[in-house]
Amino acid sequence: MRNPVTSVVALYREAFAGLPRLTWLLCLAGFLNRCGSMVVPFLGLYVKDRWRYDPDEAGFVVALYGIGALCGSWLGGWLADRIGPVRVQVVTLLSSGAWMLAMTRIDDARGFAAAVLLLGVLNDAFRPGSITAVAISCAPELRRKALTLNRLMLNLGWSFGPTIGGYLTTIDFHWMFLADGGTCALAAGFLFVALRHWRPEAPARRRGDSWRPFQDRHFLWLMLTNVVVITAFMQYFTTGTRVFEDGGYSKQTIGWFVAINPIMITLFEMPVVHALQRRPALPLVALGAAVIGLGFACFLLPFGGATIVLGMVVIAVGELLQMPTLGAYVNDHAPAGARGAYNGAYGMSFTLALVLAPLLGGLVYQGAGAATLWCACTLAGLMAAAGFRRATRG
């Protein structure tokens, strides 16, 4: 009988094997960028402390970031198909870094809200280039594994960012802008040096490719369904941080709660995706959406640290089943000449959810309380699971 420890080690080795050096370099750049991810998860708390905003007012500011990100996702996809996915990343990372440094000088509440909108554009224009570059850096049969590695590196960086950010906010909120902007510049420099000689051959493009995702009914249904579950999913770091603080937890502790999700993804996503790589994509996506919903149902248990940890763990399990699988499915489904556009539109489903999540979450929490918020998130996850199953049958 095979030693269980040996089996686990072999599974992890197989999960990470076979990907080219180019894929690893691209994913490492994403890790460097995400190591400084502090501004977005603490944005609501920042405006609350600086200008005494209520939950719905803070949600509006975070939603402005999402509106900007919605535009940035489309712009990044459009540019990735034209100037190349690596150049898009370098330009947007440098721009984001410089803009976050400039935001430390803004003292006016309205001026800061406008700055948040532009930050959303710059930050999310990076995403389509990153996904597209990773998707074309390896053979098609390795695409799901490559995109999972990219997510793993992003989440590994995310596990550092909010945790460190929670401590920096106790010193001065401006430090999180400086750290986030600095890691953007570091990632841009790394890409420029490590990949300056990589010039992937541009695929043949047809007129109207930029709009093809918006004419693809199957794709649009998947994205609409994705918006439903991601709007619920994002509550754990938008409205959820306010719920946890109102429950008596410090910003440092909240930072650790938020870090549970990326730590889980870092430890388990690659082997799970590797073990399930031959399974049909959309049924796995549907299962993941349902599990995300059930994770929020855990928050309905008697409130306490153990309840929060349990909910975060279950939500992370749903995420590792749904998100990498759906991302790979989108890249397999997209025509080569419009892959950047499809990834941009795919990113727009996340950014639209980022607009809706703080707005709806803030309104529900302030008007009806945390229990109603968690019930709504549970229902959204189950509805999305039904939507993905419908797409499978279609």
Residue 195, token pair as written in the block: 């990949």
CA angle, 37 as apex, 33 and 41 as ends, to 5°?
155
* Residues 220-225: contacts with CB under 8 Å, at least 24 apart: 221/387, 221/390, 221/391, 221/394, 222/326, 222/329, 222/330, 222/388, 222/391, 223/345, 223/346, 223/348, 223/349, 224/349, 224/387, 225/289, 225/384, 225/387, 225/388, 225/391
pLDDT at 336: 76
Cβ atoms 342, 213 nearer than 8 A: yes
Q: Which of 252, 246, 39 is nearest to 166 (CA)?
A: 252
Q: Which of 97, 86, 95, 111 is nearest to 35 (CA)?
A: 97
* pLDDT-derived band at 1, boundaries 50, 70, 90: low
* pLDDT-derived band at 164, boundaries 50, 70, 90: confident
The residue with greater pLDDT, 12 or 102, is 102
Average pLDDT, the chain: 88
* pLDDT-derived band at 103, boundaries 50, 70, 90: very high
Average pLDDT over residues 161-177: 84
Whether residue 111 has pLDDT greater than 80: yes
Whether residue 72 has pLDDT greater than 80: yes
How far apart (Å, rounded) are the C-alpha atoms in residues 38 and 40? 6
pLDDT at 392: 81
- Among 9-13, 132-136, 263-267, name the one with the lowest average pLDDT: 9-13
Whether residue 303 has pLDDT greater than 90: no
Average pLDDT over residues 335-361: 86
Q: Identify the three-state secondary structure at position 183.
A: helix
pLDDT at 393: 65
Average pLDDT over residues 348-372: 89
Average pLDDT over residues 278-293: 94
Q: Helices 339-368 and 55-83 sit at what angle, rounded to 10 degrees?
A: 180
pLDDT in tens, 16-36: 888 999 999 999 999 999 888
pLDDT at 252: 80
Does the pTM surpass 0.75? The reply is yes
Whether residue 311 has pLDDT greater than 90: yes
**Longest CA pairwise span in the chain (Å):** 67
High-pLDDT (> 70) share of the chain, %? 95
pLDDT at 125: 92
> How many CB atoms neighbour CB 51 within 10 A?
14
Whether residue 184 has pLDDT greater than 90: yes
- Among 128-142, 160-174, 331-345, name the one with the lowest average pLDDT: 160-174
pLDDT in tens, 195-231: 888 877 666 566 666 678 888 999 999 999 999 999 9
Residue 356 Ramachandran class (φ > 0 left, ψ -120 to 50 alpha, else beta): alpha
Q: Please, what's the b/e burial string for 75-103 (b: 16 or more CB within 10 A of its CB; e: otherwise)?
A: bbbbbbbeebbbbbbbbbbbbbbebbbeb
Spell out the domain ranges in the chain.
Answer: 19-198+210-393
CATH of domain 19-198+210-393: 1.20.1250.20
Residue 255, token pair as written in the block: 């930072």
* pLDDT-derived band at 162, boundaries 50, 70, 90: confident
> How many CB atoms neighbour CB 72 within 10 A?
28
Q: How far is CA 20 from the centre of its chain?
A: 24
> Residue 293 carries which side chain, given as an amino acid letter?
G
Question: How many angstroms separate the Cα of 364 from the Cα of each of 67, 227, 391?
Answer: 20, 18, 30
Cβ atoms 145, 274 nearer than 8 A: yes
Dihedral sign of CA atoms 361, 364, 368, 371 in order:
negative
pLDDT at 394: 56
DSSP type of residue 200: P
